[in-house]
Structure 1
Amino acid sequence: MTTFVIERNIPGASALTPAELKEIAIASNAVVEGLGVAYTWHHTYVAGDKLYCVHETDDAETVREHARRGGFPADLVVEVAATFGPETADS
């Protein structure tokens, strides 16, 4: 599977309450269950007026279908080319 980063523009995202985030998670999980394909939502970062989600599936169109079914924006869907971190300097 391929890893994707999804940028979702949601005004006031940083002010979403834990209860609201829970409802979004419930909706997302339900859509994942109904897609009928391999799909993993790893996590989401909430920052400013955006959500940055890390999902794993076979193609970007499946990510967009997840968004459509869940009623979520998917303003940008990009395939992750590589990952690195501080430990990369030591390798």
Structure 2
Amino acid sequence: MQSNGPHPQVTLNCHDIVPIYDARKYTQSFLKLVPDIDQLDRINRELPPGSCAVVAYTVNTWGASLPVNVSFNVKWVMLLGVP
């Protein structure tokens, strides 16, 4: 994810790599981890099947007439556990 300012983009572009953060070794609550998620270690591989993860995403709608267009945009993934 690239950003031209101090704040990250709201959504990723179609060719951006979805950041996967490793939260397996942390015991803090989810709410304490999220504000500093960029401080967690990154995982640069696909997660194994059966993994437990949180997927953060935004939902957007556009269009003035029916049918309304909807997009679901993945922002990041937080790995909680693997089988």
TM-score higher than 0.5: no
TM-score when normalising by structure 2: 0.26
Q: Which has the higher contact order (CA 8 A, sep 6+)?
A: 1
Q: Whose radius of gyration is greater, 1 or 2?
A: 2
More strand by share: 2
More helix by share: 1
